[in-house]
């Protein structure tokens, strides 16, 4: 039992020691990680002479150049994705307009079909009545059939045949319109699905680009903060700044301030460009297929 207590104590003690060592290391030197390389920034408290300060200045100069390049590249990626989103939104907006035109055309066709149906019902009834009178007349003995009735029935048959032909011709025309509209709808639905899929892909791409920009920005921010400390030490040890270092340091500070102003756009959900469209608005609504 005593041995188990000792083991537990050692585990706790070693674990606490690891935590303390890790904390000390994290509070000392810092590291800037960029796509061009990794730069170790020494703790300013360790820089106790001009030589050490000059070395640290050269390191932060190189780190700032690399971090700025990463930020610029990441911003370029964000802008590129924003352009893609804008183009996809333009395609969606165009499809919405086409869907509205389709919807209006489909409604117009259905209205005309309904009107034709209302005309067809009495026409069919008249045809049925005519056929019934023809059958009744034909059932009479030949000598009892009236020539005038026969002539009237033939004239009526001609008239009804013309009306029925016109009715069928109109129905055929409407059916052809329906076929074309159904093809148009199928095309709109397929394109709408493609736009939806592309929008999802671009959402994922933008999230990755913003994450990359955020990481690059944090590295550049660390460089800017370190440069401020270097300026104090450079004055203290009378170390002059090269024009190149002054230039990259100023550019880094400018970039940091600009990114702070744009942080709502760069790291938020709503970037520049048009707002995303609701996918259900892209595709045409379901319509009854015209008969």
Residue predicted with more confidence, 210 or 22: 210
- Residue 217 pLDDT > 70, yes or no? yes
Please report whether residue 144 resides in a domain: no
Domain enclosing residue 103, as ranges? 2-110+169-282
93-97, 185-189, 204-208, 274-278 — which is least confidently predicted? 274-278
pLDDT in tens, 226-272: 998 999 999 999 998 888 888 888 888 888 777 776 655 444 444 44
Please report whether residue 102 resides in a domain: yes
Please report whether residue 157 resides in a domain: no
> Which residue, chain included where needed, has tokens 């509070």?
27
Nearest to 83 by CA among 267, 274, 281: 274
- In percent, the amount of the chain with pLDDT more than 90 equals 56
Q: At residue 27, what are phi and psi to the nearest 5 degrees?
A: -90, -5
Residue predicted with more confidence, 248 or 34: 34
DSSP SS3 for 204: helix
Please report whether residue 195 resides in a domain: yes
Please report whether residue 240 resides in a domain: yes
Please report whether residue 274 resides in a domain: yes
Q: Name the domain count of the chain.
A: 1
pLDDT of residue 203: 92
288 contacts 172 by C-beta, under 8 angstroms: no
Q: Indicate whether this model's pTM tops 0.75.
A: no
- pLDDT band per the 50, 70, 90 thresholds, residue 288: very low
Burial, 61: exposed, middle or buried (Cβ in 10 Å; 0-12, 13-18, 19+)?
A: buried
- Residue 62 pLDDT > 50, yes or no? yes
Please report whether residue 96 resides in a domain: yes
Please report whether residue 264 resides in a domain: yes
Nearest to 203 by CA among 116, 123, 89, 102: 89
């Amino acid at each position: 039992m005593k041995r188990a207590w000792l083991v537990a104590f050692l585990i706790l003690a070693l674990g606490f020691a690891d935590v303390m060592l890790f904390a000390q290391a994290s509070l000392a030197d810092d590291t800037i990680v960029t796509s061009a390389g990794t730069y170790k920034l020494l703790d300013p408290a360790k820089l106790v002479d001009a030589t050490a300060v000059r070395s640290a200045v050269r390191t932060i100069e190189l780190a700032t150049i690399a971090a700025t390049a990463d930020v610029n590249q990441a911003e370029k990626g964000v802008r590129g994705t924003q352009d893609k989103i804008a183009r996809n939104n333009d395609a969606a907006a165009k499809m919405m307009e086409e869907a509205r035109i389709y919807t209006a055309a489909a409604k117009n066709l259905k209205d005309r079909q309904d009107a034709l149906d209302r005309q067809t019902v009495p026409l069919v009834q008249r045809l049925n009545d005519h056929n019934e009178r023809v059958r009744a007349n034909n059932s009479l003995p030949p000598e009892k059939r009236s020539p005038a009735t026969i002539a009237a029935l033939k004239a009526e048959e001609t008239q009804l045949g013309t009306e029925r032909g016109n009715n069928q011709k109109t129905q055929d025309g409407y059916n052809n319109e329906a076929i074309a509209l159904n093809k148009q709808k199928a095309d709109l639905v397929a394109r709408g699905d493609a736009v939806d899929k592309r929008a999802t892909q671009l959402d994922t791409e933008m999230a990755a680009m913003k994450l990359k920009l955020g990481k690059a920005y944090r590295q550049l921010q660390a460089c800017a903060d370190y440069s401020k400390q270097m300026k104090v030490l450079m004055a203290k040890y009378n170390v002059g700044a090269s024009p190149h270092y002054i230039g990259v340091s100023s550019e880094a500070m400018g970039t940091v301030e600009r990114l702070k102003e744009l942080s709502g756009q760069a790291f938020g959900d709503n970037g520049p460009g048009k707002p995303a469209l609701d996918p259900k608005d892209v595709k045409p609504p379901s319509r009854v297929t015209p008969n």
